[in-house]
Amino acid sequence: MNCRACHLVDEPLDTSSGGMRTYTDFARRSPVPVREDGATVAPRNSPPLVNATLPRAGGLLLHFDAEFPTTADLIKPTFAGRNFCWLPGESAQAISHLAKIIREDDGSGPLASDFGKLPYYVVLTGTDPSIPGEFRIPEPFRVSVATATDAEIFNAVANLVSACTEGLVFSQDETGPSICPPTMCSWGKTACRGLLPGRRAGLPIAGDYSR
Ligand code: HEC
């Protein structure tokens, strides 16, 4: 299980009735992994994440029942919770499991091959001179995997994913957040150029939605 199993982007492009998503899925309620509690779906579907964590008047509240006040508060229980297959009371096991993956990954997975075939422990430790500049994570996000506790590794991964989630924003102009396709999509910039004049002409902005 991983975040992108529910928060989809280009995975469904070739699926019939699929298409590009902004980290959301097509379900009424997102499927969860099978466990003995019999649950098959989350309470809701996975909402879009682009612009979801922007600061806003009145403060940030995540999940539609306002469960979490910050992205970091949401990530840890997500990693150690039912969406990742863990039942109540299993957080310690979830933390150890995540730390084990970071320690034992050897960079041979298909995803790693797109990112220099670097094992997680090398990238997260961040000091190996062979790490290309584009994959070297900033010091505040690093953790010395060889000496860190399970909890320290878990927290470092949560911090990194939190920063990554908060980095999911639509293109912005000088007046702030706008309604545009995601910056990471090749078609985004072209479509965005078309949308910006419309926004200036009075289309809704983030503040309108957070009232
Ligand atoms: C099994 C599916 C599933 C997985 C895996 C999953 N999510 Fe979600 N996510 C959801 C659902 C469903 C919601 C809506 C929850 C609600 O509103 O109660 C959600 C909501 C969110 C929100 C809140 C958005 C908002 O506008 O309130 C964020 C942020 C988020 N997820 C990030 C993540 C991250 C980061 C991960 C990986 C660590 C992750 N999710 C893993 C299903 C999933």
User: How far does residue 127's CA lie from ligand 1's centre (Å)?
Assistant: 32
Identify whether 67 is part of a domain.
yes
Which residue type occupies 50? Answer: V
Looking at the fold, whether 97 and 194 belong to one and the same domain comes out as no
Instruction: Tell me: do 101 and 185 sit in the same domain.
Output: no
Residue 202: is its pLDDT beyond 70?
no
Q: At 199, give phi and psi (nearest 5°).
A: -65, -45
Burial of residue 180 (CB within 10 Å: 0-12, 13-18, 19+) is buried
Cβ–ligand 1 contact at 62 (below 6 Å): yes
Question: Which amino acid makes up residue 63?
Answer: H
Quick one: 56 and 138 in the same domain? yes
Q: State the chain's mean pLDDT as an integer.
A: 87
143 and 70 within one domain: yes
Tell me, yes or no, whether 86 and 31 share the same domain. yes
**Shared domain check, 138 and 103:** yes
- Residue 99 makes CB contacts below 8 A (sequence gap 6+) with 148, 149, 150, 151, 153, 154
Is 84 among the domain residues? yes
Of 49-58, 157-166, 193-202, which range is least confident? 193-202
Is residue 6 assigned to a domain? no
Q: pTM here?
A: 0.85
User: Are 88 and 191 in a shared domain?
Assistant: no
Whether 41 contacts 29, CB under 8 Å: yes
For residue 46, report the distance from its CA to the centre of ligand 1, in Å: 5
Same domain assignment for residues 94 and 149: yes
Domain that holds residue 117: 18-166
- How much distance in Å is there from the Cα of 83 to the middle of ligand 1? 8
- Asked if residue 60 and residue 161 are part of one domain, the reply reads yes
| pLDDT classification of 57: cutoffs 50, 70, 90 | confident
Query: Tell me, what's the pLDDT at 196?
Result: 43
Mean of pLDDT values over 141-148: 98
Ligand 1 atom closest to Cα of 2?
Answer: 5
> Ligand 1: does its nearest atom lie under 6 Å from the Cβ of 49?
yes
Q: What is the pLDDT of residues 71-97, one digit of tens each?
A: 999 999 999 999 999 999 999 999 999
Is residue 204 located within the same domain as residue 134?
no
Whether residue 31 is contained in a domain is answered as yes
pLDDT at 210: 58
Supply 168's token pair.
């999911």
- Is residue 43 situated within a structural domain? yes
What's the total number of domains in the chain?
A: 2
* Test site for ligand 1: of 1, 41, 65, 74, most ligand atoms within 8 A of the Cβ: 74
Indicate whether 179 and 92 sit together in one domain: no
